[in-house]
Amino acid sequence: MNTVDPAGRPLIALDGVHKRYNVGQPNEAEVLHGVSLTLAAGEFAALIGPSGSGKSTLLNIIGLLEPMSGGSYRIHGEEVGGLDDAGLTLRRRSALGFVFQFHHLLPAFSALENVTLPALMREGHVSRAQRDHAREVLAAMGLGAALHKRPGELSGGMQQRVAIARALVTKPPLVLADEPTGNLDRHSSDDVFALMRKMHAEMGTSFLIVTHDPRLAERCDRIIELVDGCIERDGVRSP
């Protein structure tokens, strides 16, 4: 397994990460107990575990959506734990893509507009090249004929494919997917998963996928199992 980039740094490295909620209150609870984890460029990993084990919290911390309560988190060797909101926003733009269980597409925008949204947010406008690239990514997702359709006109599987295209359009080194197939039937689920594998192979993007589906987890290259806020198992899939 390739765990470091040419400069010798992992893509992400968490060391002794803790997460506590309601600190100082009677209902204070710690959901992550010193999680240490590295992910290399080009990995395709599954994060599994029972409900309440802290998977989504860990994914939010890796996605810079939630602050950690303790520990260290580095992206490309840079400590990001102490960054302010502007710094976190910039790192999210440059390093991360997100796919959620519910596609969370903007309903008033077409598929193409949803996919060009990150470029719009980043630069204030969408260039012709960016629009063409978004078309290409959508076409690669099999959505070439649905560019101008709104989310409400697409099936669940197609909506999730648009969401994956949106996550990939900025070519982030890492895509974080929280139950990306959790809301789909088996056929659509297989389609979406196959597409993520295809984009991983073609673009070299790393994927960290939270899933409850052992069938899909078994098809990832690496499986990380979180139980009660601790990593119980972390290993490469058996051939």
Partner 1 sequence: MDLDRYDRIVGLRGKVVEGGARLDPGEGILGRDLAADLGVRVGDRVSVVVTSSSGNVGDSLRVTALVDLGVRELNRRTVIVPLRAAQSLVGLPGGATHLELTLADVWSASSLAAELAQRDPYRVESWQQLNAQLVSALNAQSVSTALIRGVVMIVVVLGIARVLVVSEVQKRREIGILRAMGTTRGQIQRVFLLQGAIVGAAGSVLGVLLAVALIGAFTRFVRGSDGLPLFSIGLAPNLALRIAVLATFAGVLAAVAPARRAASLDPAQAIRL
Residues that bind partner 1 (CB under 8 A): 60, 63, 65-66, 85-86, 89-90, 92-94, 98, 100, 104, 106, 117-118, 121-122, 166
202: tokens are 């073609």
CB of residue 233 to partner 1, shortest distance in Å: 26
CB nearer to partner 1: give 40 or 134. 134
CB nearer to partner 1: give 65 or 197. 65
CB of residue 4 to partner 1, shortest distance in Å: 26
Rg (CA), the chain: 18
CA pair distance 230, 180, nearest whole angstrom: 23
CA pair distance 34, 73, nearest whole angstrom: 11
35: tokens are 């999680």
231: tokens are 């990593």
CB of residue 156 to partner 1, shortest distance in Å: 17
Beta strands of the chain (E only): which ranges? 12-21, 29-39, 44-48, 70-75, 78-79, 96-99, 174-178, 206-210, 222-227, 230-236
CB of residue 6 to partner 1, shortest distance in Å: 26
Residue 220 one-letter amino acid: C
CA pair distance 112, 165, nearest whole angstrom: 9
CB of residue 236 to partner 1, shortest distance in Å: 29
CB of residue 174 to partner 1, shortest distance in Å: 13
CA pair distance 206, 70, nearest whole angstrom: 25
Residue (of 232, 178, 219, 180) closest to 53 by Cα position: 232
